[in-house]
Amino acid sequence: MKIVLILLLLPIFFGCANIHQSKNDIPLNYNEYKEKLEAAKIKSFRLSGKIFLYVNEKGLSGRMRWVSLNGNDTVEIYDPFNSIVAKISLAESTRNVSFESISPSHSKETKNVIKHIFGSSDNIFILKKFLLSPPSELSENQSVSIDFDDWIIKFSGILDTNHRVSKIVEYNKGNITFKIFINQLEI
């Protein structure tokens, strides 16, 4: 009986060790990332995915849809029941960001949560750059982390589309973790 138990547990221990070893992150600083960034700028795209937000170990989940047309972006945030919660509009030419909460009772709260996550509005534009241009070191079996403005941005996996993009982009700062699982990207 002990031999059967050992034979059953042996692959689990070795399997976990191999997975853990292949997931070591390649650390980059933001300047290294910026130097290797592709010159081509994407003007229009549609991105959708699931989102998870953890603040002080309390979690929220939902999904997002990001539509960009010639530098004018709309990011829609949905709750788990597929109801729209907030809409963020970005104008790249003026660097203007506006927040619209669908529920008037949650308007101020939604705006404060988004500002708390991203800090300055410029960070939302940098989020867009991170989503569309993962580091060149990223591979299906190799994650990459970038230190940026007290944030650690982790890229994992590659989504199979006509443009190279990470499957998961995770933003960590202090007690805040924001994860985006990209389902679809159309350019």
Beta bridge partners of 147: 29, 152
Domains by residue range for the chain, with CATH: 25-186 (2.50.20.10)
Of residues 76 and 43, more confidence is placed in 76
pLDDT tens, residue by residue, 8-51: 333 333 333 322 223 478 888 888 888 777 655 778 899 999 99
Residue 65 clears pLDDT 90, i.e. is over it: yes
Residue 170 clears pLDDT 90, i.e. is over it: yes
Residue 92 clears pLDDT 60, i.e. is over it: yes
Strands (E), the chain: 26-29, 44-55, 58-69, 72-78, 84-91, 96-101, 144-148, 151-159, 165-173, 176-186
pLDDT tens, residue by residue, 104-146: 666 566 666 666 666 666 677 778 888 888 888 888 888 999 9
Strand 144-148 versus strand 26-29 pairing type: parallel
First to last CA, the chain: 57
Residue 178 clears pLDDT 70, i.e. is over it: yes
DSSP alpha helix (H) spans, the chain? 2-22, 30-36, 107-118, 122-132
